[in-house]
Structure formats: C-alpha cells, structure tokens
Chain A
C-alpha cells in the first residue's frame, strides 16, 4: 500500500494505492490520524487506485470519521470502483459519505 498526501485549497487529498487490509491498516490509520491531529477538517480520500479494502479498513475510516466529526470536519471519497465500490455499498458506507468521480468535483462541493 502507498499513501500520498497533498494539500489543495482548504482540503487534504489522501490517495491510497494497493490494498487496505490487516497488515496495511495500521499505516493507513496513522496517516489519517496525523492529518486529523494537525487540525485538518476536510479530507478527500482518493481510492481510484485502491484494489481492495477489508472490514478492518472500513473500521479505520469509521473511527477516524468520529474524530473528524468532533472537529466539525468531514471525509469525502473519490474514484471508488470495482470491488471497493461494492464493499462500500454492501457495508452501507455509500449512505454515510459523499462520493465523487473526481477530486475537482469533490473540491467544488466542499
């Protein structure tokens, strides 16, 4: 798994490549936690290059969401496709978060 972060406008883009599973979830968790601790309120998670996410990854997202909400912040998602998109649908995450086709569309909305 690789994580790349960059700032744009008033948001932080976190792009994740590869797999979020039991082995890589701690690093993903730390990445989100670092941004939230730094006071970031708007995080765009770009999953367009993410091949797989397990329920451990979903739990990390949910726990981070709760912390972000305390700061009146929010996550949005970009580029969900294939198995990752289906996992989000089955787990109900589609109804919890906003989804966008592109980072530009997400930034415009935010």
Chain B
C-alpha cells in the first residue's frame, strides 16, 4: 500500500484547515527561494501565507495536495484555461514540496509521483519556470517535463490557450528565454523563464492546430501563388509591410463579446435615431457634444482590442516588419486606443510599435452648432487631412489613398504586403491591392477576420477568364484571430531566425 496519496479539488473547495496548511507550505517554499543564493534575481514580493490563500481561492485554480504518511508534504496549484473543458491542459502556477525524508532522492520521488498522478487524470501540464531555478528544472525534467522551444507553440500554449502575456521571446546562446511579466497579488514583476511541458496524453494539440492552419492555406491559396509567396517571404528581412484596418480588425466591435460600438460611444446610445441630424456628409461635418476630441481620445482608451493583437505586434517587430494602421475612424480615437501601455512595468505603448497611423483628423468648426432632437446642442466638427476628399458632393475618407501612400515608401522591396481587415468596408482597398499586386508583381496576402470579404473576393474578384494571370500575386485567407497569422506565415515559408542574421555583428 503506498504511503502517499493526493487530493485534487478546486481551490474554493478546500476546507479552512486545508487552505491554511497549504498556504503555509507555499509561503515557506517561496520565502526560502527569495533568500536562496542560487536565486540570481530575487524580487521583493509578499510571500505571506495570506497571498497564497487568496490565490488558491480563485475560481480558476485547482489545488493538488500531496500527503506522505498522512502529512501534507506538497502543494501544486494548477491554473485552468478559459477552454479547460476542451483541452485537458493545465498550467502549474505555484508549487512547494517538502518530503518527510530529506535529500534530492525524496524530492525526485515526490515529483515523479506528481507526474504519475497527472497522467492518471488524463491531462498535460505546462510550467513557465524561472531560468535560474536549476534544481526545480532538473526535478521537473527527470519527472518527464520537456522544454518547448518552438516560438509559435509557446504562443499557442501560453497566449492562445491560457491567455497569458508573453512579453518577449529570444533565443540566446541556444537557450530560449521567455521574458514574462507576472503579477502576484497585484504586483507586476518581470522574469526570465522557459516553458516545460509534461505530455501524458496522446494529443498533440499544437500539431493538430498547425495541420488545420496548413489545410486552410492550401485550400485558400493555389500552389503557384504559394510558390510566389514563399519566394517573397525569403526577403522578409527587407521589411514585410503589415497594413491593418482599425474598427473591427484591431478592435472588437461586437458588444456582446465585450466590444465597443464606437459610433454609439461617440454620439450616445440613441445614435441611430439622431444619426441623420448629426451627420452632414455634404459638408463633411459631424455634430458632436463639446470637447468631443478629448472625449474620443478617452473613448479610445476603453476600446477592446482583439485578443492576440499584443502578441502580433511583438511578432511584427521580431521579424522587423512595419505595422501601419489605415482607418476611417478619427485619428485621435485610434491614438487614444493605442496609447495604452503594453504591460505593467514596461515603458512601451502599443503606439510605439506602430509605424504610422493614417486616419482623418477632426477639427472643431468654431461657432457652428446645431440643436438636436434629443435636446442637446452639438458643435460641428469637420474631417480633415490628406485622406479626406469630396466625391460626388459627399465627403469621403479615402482608405485606398492611405494604402497608396504607405506603398509609396516601399520602393522595390520584394517582401510581401499583408493587409488585415474584417468587413466589406474594405472592399475598395482590397480591389486596389489586387490591381497593384498584378501591376507591380507585388505579393499581397489579405487576412480577413470576417468571411464576407473573402466570399466576395472569391466570387467577384478572382478567377477572371479575361485575365487568368491577374491573381498570381494576390491572396485572401479568412482567419479567426491574430494567433493564426504567424503560424500561417511560417507554414508558407517565413523563417523567423532568418529575419535577424545572428551572425552579423561580431
């Protein structure tokens, strides 16, 4: 009969005594690590038992208690992913082990038993372990954990499945270092980590995911076009141009999914009723409440960004790509949304990773007001800037002009142009890119976060019998999220390491 056993439950189901005992053990473990001479970068965090008690009681944590001869000797805290009912994957977030017997052998037994217990549950486990925790890393590796070194796989596991922010990821002297900002009890700290995985199930979710992305590419892009793209991606170090729409592409517009309807945010919840009164397209005016420009900027800060956009900007920088925003939304609103910091403790904002924002400015028209039927008196604002023009008597924002301006800086760069969009509002831009792709033999890849534009392009734009070669350089793929794009680009032939020739300097 084994002289050890495990108890597994949601943290909220621990009894008061179990919680106190587990919290005390974790506190002891992390306090000792803080003063361990092997800890080369100790961080002042609060390691009091109350911190761990609060953490365990979060609804997203499961707790495994490890007993030897009836005494608590170990605590393993697992985080549940938002999709934990679809993927049997857990993240080992906190642990402390003090076996009854002293010595490395006893520690190794405890970790091996934990790995066997996880296998009995039919789950896989990952841990983002501090680089300088050599003893722990050895124990984990002897118990069957293996390091994950594929960049996209790390993003898939940590960002996509577990919604953790990976700040940076570098291959340094052969070791992959994840620079992650973690928060403990409200305090943000930056750690260098590596990702270890215990694979006990026969399911390689990442391989399945990649297979599906490859099928999507093969079904959307003909072989001849794929060959052209592959060749163009070899020149990635000359700078891939990523041009992105804003509303609905970078932002989430679906209010049911937590998005923000900008028009309603700007003009009030009854905007549909008063829209004809506040819009004057012939004069290029919109009537807004006073201080609208400041208000738009403030609203911009509340805009919900599409998941994965954060990681995508890092990916663009990693491959030395240039990211442009082309939007019909007012520039102050776009800037407002992108001026937020990327992460706590980081002196970097989203806008710092954006090359240029092409968007119309708005300017107050002094002295011009209108009384609206909702009882408000609103001030006229005009759209202005190089991308606003009058056409057929109406003011229009010319997104195609924005794209032309951006492309004019590209010169004879052979790397592809990638356009990100989500609705039929970008049909004109897609038409332009299709024409330019053919005219300049410029490889273009459009990623559509919706499906309507892809369907329209397939039915109306591609496959012309009159010009069968017109499509060779133009491609459009429907995607669901930003995470798919780096994976697809690598499956198409993009080599991330080749983007920065590590043998260049010294």
Contact = CB atoms under 8 A, between A and B. Distances in A.
Contact of B355 (A55, A62, A69, A91): A55
A30 interface: no
Given A92-B170, A92-B500, A83 B314 contact: no
B347 A62 contact: no
Contacts of A86: 346-348, 352
B505 A69 contact: yes
B322 A96 contact: no
A39 B184 CA distance: 53
A22 B353 CA distance: 13
B490 to A, nearest CB: 17
A55 B239 contact: yes
Given A82-B347, A87-B317, A91-B500, A56 B352 contact: no
Interface string B254-274: 000000000000000000000
B313 to A, nearest CB: 9
A93 B273 CA distance: 54
Contacts, number: 80
Interface in A39-65: 52, 54-56, 58-59, 62, 65
B348 A87 contact: yes
Given A59-B237, A87-B348, A74 B506 contact: yes
Nearest to A21: B355
B238 interface: yes
B318 interface: yes
Nearest to B409: A22
Given A21-B355, A55-B316, A91-B317, A62 B168 contact: no
B44 interface: no
Contact of B317 (A69, A90, A97, A98): A90
Contact of B320 (A52, A59, A82, A95): A59
B93 interface: no
Interface string B475-506: 00000000000000000000000001110111
Interface in A72-110: 74-75, 82-83, 85-87, 89-93, 95-98
B356 interface: yes
A87 B409 CA distance: 22
Contacts of A52: 352
Given A75-B505, A82-B347, A56 B355 contact: yes
Interface string B141-172: 00000000000000000000000000110101
A74 B239 contact: no
Interface string B296-316: 000000000000000000101
A54 B355 contact: yes
B502 to A, nearest CB: 7
A94 B134 CA distance: 25
Contacts of A74: 505-506
B284 interface: no
A107 to B, nearest CB: 17
A54 B324 CA distance: 11
Nearest to B506: A74
A82 B349 CA distance: 11
Contacts of B237: 59, 62
Given A56-B355, A74-B505, A82-B347, A96 B320 contact: no
A66 interface: yes
B321 interface: yes
Given A22-B355, A59-B320, A95 B170 contact: yes
Nearest to B503: A69
Contacts of A97: 505-506
Contacts of B355: 21-22, 54-56
A79 B346 CA distance: 18
A91 B318 contact: yes
A95 B318 contact: no
Nearest to B347: A82
Contacts of A96: 500, 502, 504-506
B347 A83 contact: yes
B504 A66 contact: yes
Given A22-B356, A96-B502, A96-B505, A90 B239 contact: no
Contacts of B347: 82-83, 85-86
Nearest to B177: A95
A83 B353 CA distance: 9
Interface string B345-373: 01111001101100000000000000000
B283 to A, nearest CB: 32
Contact of B168 (A55, A59, A69, A89): A89
A86 B321 CA distance: 16
A22 B409 CA distance: 8
B239 A83 contact: no
Interface of B: 167-168, 170, 172, 179, 237-239, 314, 316-318, 320-323, 346-349, 352-353, 355-356, 409, 500-502, 504-506
5 contacts: A56-B355, A59-B237, A91-B500, A95-B172, A97-B505
6 pairs of A and B residues whose beta carbons are closest in the complex: A86-B348, A96-B505, A83-B352, A55-B320, A54-B355, A90-B168
